[in-house]
């Protein structure tokens, strides 16, 4: 079973921007109820896309620089990176189908 890996402000560039495959970044906080609701969906997707897409989590309370760098105003926010660049941004709780569409687009 594959699970999203936690990254912080210091490891973000290495883990996300220099990754050889697309990366889904879940920007969240422990107090955020929608963040807790989307977490199991992301766990499922991490399994489904294992070996194709990397999944990481960034706690914005502990890592404010990353949140500020990408102008995160609401959580949960999912950023999908490809070749070190954000190619998709999804804000709020979204259905799995919509998340998959964005992830499939990042694989093309």
**Looking at residue 36, which CATH number applies to its domain?**
3.40.30.10
**Please, which residues bridge with residue 5 across strands?**
56
CB 80 within 8 A of CB 103: yes
Tens of pLDDT, residue by residue over 32-55, are 999 999 999 999 999 999 999 999
- 32 catalytically annotated: yes
Q: How many domains does the chain have?
A: 1
Query: Which of 15, 23, 35, 46 is the catalytic position?
Result: 35
- 22 catalytically annotated: no
**Per-residue confidence (pLDDT) for residue 1, from 0 to 100:** 54
Query: Which of 32, 53, 79, 103 is the catalytic position?
Result: 32
Exposure b/e, 8-36, CB count within 10 A at least 16 = b = eeeebeebbeebeebbbbbbbeeebeebe
43-3-76-71 Cα dihedral, nearest 10 degrees: -140
**Per-residue confidence (pLDDT) for residue 102, from 0 to 100:** 95
Domain span including residue 55: 5-106
**Per-residue confidence (pLDDT) for residue 3, from 0 to 100:** 81
Residues of the chain falling short of pLDDT 50: none
Which is nearest to 56 in space by CA: 17, 93, 105? 17
- Is the full-model pTM beyond 0.85? yes
């Amino acid at each position: 079973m594959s699970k999203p890996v936690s990254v912080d402000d210091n490891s973000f560039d290495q883990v996300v921007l220099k990754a050889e495959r697309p990366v889904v970044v879940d920007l969240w906080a422990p107090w955020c109820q929608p963040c807790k609701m989307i977490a199991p969906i992301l766990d499922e997707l991490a399994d489904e896309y294992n070996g194709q897409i990397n999944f990481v989590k960034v706690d914005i309370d502990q890592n404010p620089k990353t949140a500020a760098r990408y102008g995160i105003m609401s959580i949960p926010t999912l950023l999908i990176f490809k070749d070190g660049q954000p190619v998709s941004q999804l804000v709020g709780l979204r259905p799995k189908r919509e998340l998959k569409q964005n992830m499939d687009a990042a694989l093309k």
